A and B are shown apart, each in its own frame.
Chain A
């Protein structure tokens, strides 16, 4: 018996939830006031709900089908898994997107798919959905398409005309890991597809000779995802791979997804609790690399095993390992130095730089900028405050470490 739309929605959203990406930001500003249609994107994305896993729900994240000819060990949809299978028609996906959007549940659609028949056939159907949403239904909301590395260039090119973002998952941090867990996937194919996408995005961003207009092509760029904790790669390897991906393909984001046990899991993978803290530390390290001027080497050199400290955030861990650089005088230090103070964010630093032109700053001023004094006190000097060798204290680390948990009697 054919499953109802509701039953299939349950199956095909369950099948999509292991993809961490949810962003609906970074695309061009556009709305429907001129077209009289439906939908807008206004710079920052909107999270329309949060699930108890703490993740934002911004897009209707579903698979077109969870039938798949690939057998990637970490994937719930691998061909050897016994999960229930289902598929949507393109019309159903379009209907769900529009009706969900009208009720303000979502910002748009994030469509992915298992590979059925061939890569081109699957990609063709996904592109058709994006095209019809844009051209027939006048939809101006956000569209994120997962592109299939083996699909032909013509289809990827068309996808970029309708989608805000395209992404290809690198899946695992090393080629060896991909070879072991996703034997049908070719890491060099994935890299080549990302490279082609970057070239295409750059080509379209050039003003044309005749009209001098820039053409629109995947305006929110491309992103990827890496699974953390399924293979043996350490944090230094993972972050090294991210740095290469950012540098090589102009990725907007690399998502880290703590490997999470899946129903009917492959025997080659352990059923473990997802390493959520590790995932969190990787995101923090990623931010330090992209916005705070840190090198990957600096971030991961704190521990000898190439792993990040799980107890302390990576900036604090770095600072404790480099006490000779502190305390920092917030009334004089350069922007780059301020960015390295634990507890200062980019906005704090901006606030300090603009305020100190008027007068010398005190601890109270930092409080007004929303800084946690407990965290920054040992690392800064300001008007009326010197940490008095606080940086040299041997128990400084213990001051920041999470309290040991009280064991409870049974």
Chain B
């Protein structure tokens, strides 16, 4: 037997849901139901004819997933008269195969998703293209400002969109009229109806300022009319105050660009010369005296000796007392050091600091620097992957390290890792062979070699990591004894 069911069909899920639940409880297959809306009823059928079948005995438990409800809430707003049938078919099929909605390529699922997408677009365009016009308050009256808008949506979305406008335009009274219903807000109550409204005659002086902005923000040299038409189709134009300018803007664009090109660059106005003169008169920032540590640091800021300088954020120079007895040398700044402009402040720096503290060395007494002063890395998405500096770069940067050694004149130098060792001695040696023992250098200096703390952070095996951490701590304790 064929069932007929009439709905108001104005974006209200509840009336469809109640009927659909009834049909489903009786196990009625989709083909046996003809869903109608009052709009297309030819007078023969009305709500009076709506009859639901007797539920099966015992009635089946009708449950649906939250994702179906979300989909149905959107689809029901669509103006396509087949939406009720489609939704019931989906509901019926879901009852037998639960994962159906994940089957994006299914005919019904993709049709429903297309409808939901179309409703979503209509919703979005309504939030974008509603234009409020202010109504003047009666003479002498005080109170909330009042605004009215007229919009023509494709689907029954007024009730769905209204809360958006309430959340956004909370401190003003507003009324949105459409042929598919209206919404209003007075500061206390959000009201919606689905009765069609008439287009009001509205004016607002501020529209003129908006048109000025619209015309001025347009760049005539980049005409892309098709792109505009895709995103702001003509059907919306009649209710957009700025749209009346579009044909003229397009027509004049080319001539405007040509005219702009034809005008030769003119001579600068006096304003420009005054600025240039003033800039010339500004005394240069005082430079530190040559040969001092401050001068060296300043000079290093603009170092371009090797190619990595413009890839990094900044030069990370050494840090510590200029007369420090002990100098620690690492490899190169890492991600955090590069951003902060200071050596050993990232994860390896924290490990370094912790170890110093455990052993009882104050970092403030040390001069801490790196063999290479710029961060070398490979960008990988949102991160930077550390890259070892090559021998050429280490040699180039040795220029700065030598200057630091000359100025600070440390008695004890601690090389952390192979790069630091190479920078100091030009030797490529296995760390293990010379590690943990003081080595005499020229000018009465002592060299002490250990691993780089970032090596310790990279050891995957927990047991080995513990061992190596202990050895590093031992090394730093030996350094303390040598200090």
A53-B102 contact in complex given A79-B275, A195-B313, A195-B339, C-beta closer than 8 Å? no
5 contacts between A and B (CB under 8 A): A37-B171, A50-B228, A52-B228, A191-B314, A195-B313
A195-215 to B contact mask, C-beta < 8 Å, 1/0: 110110000000000000000
Cβ < 8 Å to B, chain A residues 346-361: 350-352, 354-355, 357-358, 361
Q: In the docked arrangement, what's the CA distance between A281 and B107, Å?
A: 34
A28-54 to B contact mask, C-beta < 8 Å, 1/0: 000111011111101010111111111
Residues of A within 8 A of B213 (CB): 9, 13, 60, 100, 105
Q: In the docked arrangement, what's the CA distance between A184 and B278, Å?
A: 14
Cβ < 8 Å to A, chain B residues 165-212: 166-172, 187, 204, 206-210, 212
A16-34 to B contact mask, C-beta < 8 Å, 1/0: 1110000000000001110
Residues of B within 8 A of A389 (CB): none
Q: Is the CB of B169 within 8 A of A102?
A: yes
- Most A CB atoms within 10 A — which of B187, B246, B249, B269? B269
A248-B313 contact in complex given A50-B227, A51-B228, C-beta closer than 8 Å? yes
Q: In the docked arrangement, what's the CA distance between A189 and B171, Å?
A: 43
Q: In the docked arrangement, what's the CA distance between A188 and B246, Å?
A: 43
Residues of A within 8 A of B275 (CB): 69, 79
The segment from A270-278, A308-316, A392-400 that touches chain B is A270-278
Q: Is the CB of A273 within 8 A of B221?
A: yes
A365-B105 contact in complex given A192-B314, A267-B265, C-beta closer than 8 Å? yes
The segment from A161-169, A239-247, A336-344 that touches chain B is A239-247
The distance from the CB of A159 to the nearest CB of chain B, in whole angstroms, is 19
Residues of B within 8 A of A13 (CB): 212-213, 216-217
Q: Is the CB of B218 within 8 A of A51?
A: yes
Q: Is the CB of B263 within 8 A of A263?
A: yes
Q: Is the CB of A80 within 8 A of B272?
A: yes
Q: Is the CB of A354 within 8 A of B164?
A: no
Q: Which residue of A lies closest to B102 (CB)?
A: A354
The answer to whether the Cβ of A368 comes within 8 Å of any Cβ in the partner chain is yes
A260-B167 contact in complex given A6-B208, A47-B231, A48-B129, C-beta closer than 8 Å? no
The distance from the CB of B259 to the nearest CB of chain A, in whole angstroms, is 9
> Looking at the complex, which one of B103, B134, B214, B269 makes contact with A354 (CB distance below 8 Å)?
B103
The answer to whether the Cβ of B44 comes within 8 Å of any Cβ in the partner chain is no
Further 4 A-B residue pairs, CB within 8 A, beyond A51-B218, A100-B213, A263-B263 = A17-B216, A54-B228, A85-B271, A188-B313
Residues of A within 8 A of B246 (CB): 52
List of 9 A-B pairs having minimum Cβ-Cβ separation, nearest first: A54-B227, A54-B224, A247-B379, A365-B105, A351-B104, A31-B167, A80-B268, A195-B339, A32-B170
Q: Which residue of A lies closest to B220 (CB)?
A: A53
Q: In the docked arrangement, what's the CA distance between A54 and B261, Å?
A: 22
Q: In the docked arrangement, what's the CA distance between A299 and B164, Å?
A: 41
Q: Is the CB of A46 within 8 A of B381?
A: no
B138-167 to A contact mask, C-beta < 8 Å, 1/0: 000000010101000000000000001011
The answer to whether the Cβ of A61 comes within 8 Å of any Cβ in the partner chain is yes
Q: Is the CB of A54 within 8 A of B266?
A: no
Q: Which residue of A lies closest to B247 (CB)?
A: A52
How many A residues, CB 8 Å from partner? 95
Q: Is the CB of B110 within 8 A of A52?
A: no
Q: Is the CB of A18 within 8 A of B216?
A: no
The distance from the CB of A251 to the nearest CB of chain B, in whole angstroms, is 9
Q: Is the CB of B218 within 8 A of A53?
A: yes
Q: Is the CB of A290 within 8 A of B268?
A: no
Q: Which residue of A lies closest to B221 (CB)?
A: A260
Q: Is the CB of B105 within 8 A of A351?
A: yes
Q: Is the CB of B103 within 8 A of A368?
A: no
Q: In the docked arrangement, what's the CA distance between A208 and B224, Å?
A: 48
The answer to whether the Cβ of A264 comes within 8 Å of any Cβ in the partner chain is yes
The distance from the CB of B178 to the nearest CB of chain A, in whole angstroms, is 14
The answer to whether the Cβ of A345 comes within 8 Å of any Cβ in the partner chain is no
Q: Is the CB of A355 within 8 A of B382?
A: no
Residues of B within 8 A of A5 (CB): 209
Identify the B interface with A (CB < 8 A).
99, 102-107, 110, 124, 127-134, 145, 147, 149, 164, 166-172, 187, 204, 206-210, 212-228, 231-232, 240, 242, 246, 249-250, 253, 257, 260-261, 263, 265-269, 271-272, 275-276, 279, 301-302, 310-314, 335, 338-341, 377, 379-384
Q: Is the CB of B102 within 8 A of A276?
A: no
Residues of A within 8 A of B232 (CB): 49-50
Q: In the docked arrangement, what's the CA distance between A266 and B264, Å?
A: 9
Residues of A within 8 A of B267 (CB): 82
Q: Is the CB of A261 within 8 A of B212?
A: no
The distance from the CB of A100 to the nearest CB of chain B, in whole angstroms, is 7
Q: Is the CB of B209 within 8 A of A96?
A: yes
The distance from the CB of B97 to the nearest CB of chain A, in whole angstroms, is 9
Residues of B within 8 A of A296 (CB): 379
Q: Is the CB of A247 within 8 A of B314?
A: no
The distance from the CB of A346 to the nearest CB of chain B, in whole angstroms, is 13
Q: Is the CB of A274 within 8 A of B216?
A: no
Q: Is the CB of B171 within 8 A of A199?
A: no
Cβ < 8 Å to B, chain A residues 289-341: 290, 296
Q: Is the CB of B209 within 8 A of A52?
A: no
The answer to whether the Cβ of A377 comes within 8 Å of any Cβ in the partner chain is no
Residues of A within 8 A of B302 (CB): 188
Q: Is the CB of B128 within 8 A of A192?
A: no
Q: In the docked arrangement, what's the CA distance between A10 and B245, Å?
A: 15
The answer to whether the Cβ of A138 comes within 8 Å of any Cβ in the partner chain is yes
Q: Is the CB of A32 within 8 A of B257?
A: no
Q: Is the CB of B110 within 8 A of A369?
A: yes
Q: In the docked arrangement, what's the CA distance between A102 and B379, Å?
A: 43
Residues of B within 8 A of A57 (CB): 214, 217
Q: Is the CB of B169 within 8 A of A52?
A: no
> Looking at the complex, which one of A32, A55, A265 makes contact with B265 (CB distance below 8 Å)?
A265
Q: In the docked arrangement, what's the CA distance between A81 and B207, Å?
A: 31
Residues of A within 8 A of B208 (CB): 6
Q: Is the CB of B379 within 8 A of A246?
A: yes
Q: Is the CB of B382 within 8 A of A32?
A: no
Q: Which residue of B lies closest to A6 (CB)?
A: B212
The distance from the CB of A317 to the nearest CB of chain B, in whole angstroms, is 22
The distance from the CB of A134 to the nearest CB of chain B, in whole angstroms, is 14
The answer to whether the Cβ of A104 comes within 8 Å of any Cβ in the partner chain is yes
The answer to whether the Cβ of A103 comes within 8 Å of any Cβ in the partner chain is yes
Q: Is the CB of A174 within 8 A of B217?
A: no
Residues of A within 8 A of B225 (CB): 52, 54
Q: Is the CB of A271 within 8 A of B261?
A: yes
Q: Which residue of A lies closest to B279 (CB)?
A: A69
The distance from the CB of A170 to the nearest CB of chain B, in whole angstroms, is 12
Q: Which residue of A lies closest to B226 (CB)?
A: A54
- Most B CB atoms within 10 A — which of A104, A196, A261? A104
Q: Which residue of B lies closest to A81 (CB)?
A: B268
